[in-house]
Chains A and B, each alone.
Chain A
Amino acid sequence: MSSTPVIDVERLNVKYGDFHAVRDLSFQVRRGELYALLGTNGAGKTSALETVEGHRPATSGTVRVFGESPRDRRAVRPRMGIMLQESGFSPDLTVRESVRLIGGLTQRVDTVERVLGVVGLTGKAGTKVAQLSGGEKRRLDFATALWGAPELVFLDEPTTGLDIGSRDALWDAVDRLREDGSTVVLTTHYLEEAQQRADRIGLMHQGSLRREGTVAELTRTLPSVIRFALPPDAPAPPLATTREPDGRLLAETFDLPNDLYTLLAWTRHHGLEPQGLEAGPTRLDDVFRSLSSS
């Protein structure tokens, strides 16, 4: 297996006139990885992603995909599948015609029947795109991205507008692509998807990459939290706490098991029952919040 990264971005800048959308962005995606590029609204992830896909030129910096410039469509596109954020299919063509056209133009080999089967649109093959629901259009888009099982797949907000069943089916299909060795680059607003599936996450804010790492690495930097409520006449708890708007107490800790044990031993000793008890590691949401407020 080659150690060259599938995607290599170095000091990428993208500007539109006076607007600096992406600033000095550097990251790599290794073969077989699922890399999630996440960010607040307007963080520059779509600009970054579209530059890596080859849709727009870099203002400065270098982007290499499979060691080639992504602008060289003939060299890189046959090896990558792209699911765009907005569908872009002709309303007058049927599902079958759309998949055959776009799939065929990737120069990979596959059949309409197989990919429509994978995304669950077999029954809609003869339907015009104009008559599809929003979720069905997303699945059609996914069908063209996975045509011919590409080595690299871009999924830009893939599950927006999908119901739970379609969402699970999409992730099953992504899992199968990954079993066959595909590399996946994902953007999503559903942080739990990234938390569950990404090998590594890059967090963008205001055009630059603020944090990067595995979910564990990202959440480790922030403390875990314990929330609980006590009766008004209870003595002061053994942990440093602050009061939440809902009246509960909040304790932050870098040693969740020990501090939770201390708290529960203390309540039992005093014959108290903590109400509304919640304890858990920091979620990606919290990393996000700390980013946007910094």
Chain B
Amino acid sequence: MLSIARSELIQIFRNRLVLVTSMIMPVAVSAYFLYQHETFESLGSLGYIAAIMIFTVGAFGLYATTVTTLASRRQNLFLKRLRSTAVSDAGILSGLLLPVTVIALVQVTVLLAVLAAVAGGPANVPLLAAAVVATVAMLLGLGLATAGLTNSPEHAQVTTLPISLGVIAVASWVGISGTEDLALLKRLLPGGAATELARDAWNGGAALGDSLLLLAPTLAWVVVALSLASRLFRWEPRR
């Protein structure tokens, strides 16, 4: 698994297109939020900025790269090649997705650390970490499912749009307007509960029990995404 991860890392850094769209673009957008943090704080809160950065890296970086990478490795039969060795399917997927996941986690950690440095730190770090991990798991699962519907890396530019734009929209809506009204709908939408959790973890003031309950919808989305992925994911191109 680690040798697959290492070769994947080499490929990411050799392919400048992937590097720019998935690694640099989300950081650039987040940097703008950091630079204008006073404006966005008055619009929502510091917790909103934290949530929107998590989702920017998650949706445009991790999720889009996951779909593009898997579609590309399937299209050129690299997945089939890996499956002709002794590694298990789970080992192959873990190896392929480990580098992008670690890169996304490092990016989010650095961005949140910068936010803490320039504007003051989060109220509850473990809860914030839980929000990040749950979001990453959900987007990885959705990435696997979307990859099943994606024929080529070019096709991924279209197939990733509904979910990446959708979760960003949800994160913005929930992040700015809060959950005073339409709470149930907002929490059930993918990314809604995770946004509220990240926001509360940063801003503080919410009861811990209520916050932990917010993990449930996100983890439910992980289960939904994985069951979709197990049905939709394909290892070889359609004949």
Q: Give me the interface of A with B, judged by CB distance under 8 Å.
A: 53, 55, 73-74, 77-78, 82, 84, 86-93, 97, 100-102, 104-107
Contacts and interface: CB of A to CB of B under 8 A. Distances in A.
Contact of B84 (A55, A78, A90, A107): A55
Interface string B134-153: 00000000000000000000
A105 B10 contact: no
A88 B76 contact: yes
B86 A74 contact: yes
B78 A89 contact: yes
Contacts of B73: 90
Given A88-B81, A90-B7, A102-B81, A107 B76 contact: no
Nearest to B81: A88
Contacts of B4: 101, 105
B20 to A, nearest CB: 15
A86 B236 CA distance: 12
* Complex A-B, nearest 10 residue pairs according to Cβ-Cβ distance, in ascending order: A88-B77, A105-B85, A88-B81, A77-B86, A82-B84, A92-B14, A92-B11, A101-B7, A107-B86, A90-B78
A227 to B, nearest CB: 42
Contacts of B81: 84, 87-89, 102
Nearest to A98: B7
A97 B7 contact: yes
Given A90-B73, A105-B3, A55 B78 contact: no
A89 B88 CA distance: 18
Nearest to A75: B86
Contacts of B76: 88-91
Nearest to A108: B86
A262 B225 CA distance: 79
B10 A102 contact: no
B47 to A, nearest CB: 40
A78 B86 CA distance: 6
Contacts of A102: 81-82, 85
A53 B84 contact: yes
17 contacts: A53-B84, A55-B83, A73-B83, A73-B88, A77-B84, A84-B84, A88-B76, A90-B78, A91-B76, A92-B14, A93-B7, A101-B7, A102-B81, A102-B82, A105-B3, A107-B85, A107-B86
Given A84-B81, A88-B76, A101-B3, A73 B86 contact: yes
Given A90-B11, A92-B14, A93-B11, A105 B77 contact: no
B77 A84 contact: yes
Contacts of A91: 76
B238 to A, nearest CB: 11
Contacts of B14: 92
A74 B88 CA distance: 8
A74 B3 CA distance: 17
A77 B11 contact: no
Contact of B85 (A92, A97, A106): A106
Contacts of B77: 84, 86-88
Nearest to B239: A16
Contacts of B15: 92
Contacts of A105: 3-4, 82, 85-87
Which of A53, A92, A107: most chain B Cβ within 10 A? A92
A97 B4 CA distance: 11
Nearest to A82: B84
A218 B217 CA distance: 66
Interface string B50-89: 0000000000000000000000010011111111111110
A37 B88 CA distance: 28
A106 B3 CA distance: 12
A97 B14 CA distance: 13
Given A90-B73, A92-B11, A101-B3, A73 B87 contact: yes
B138 to A, nearest CB: 28
A38 B22 CA distance: 46
A1 B86 CA distance: 26
Contacts of B79: 88
Nearest to A88: B77
A100 B2 CA distance: 13
Contacts of A78: 86
Contacts of A73: 83, 85-88
Contacts of B84: 53, 55, 77, 82, 84
Nearest to B79: A88
Nearest to A87: B77
Nearest to A145: B84
B86 A106 contact: yes
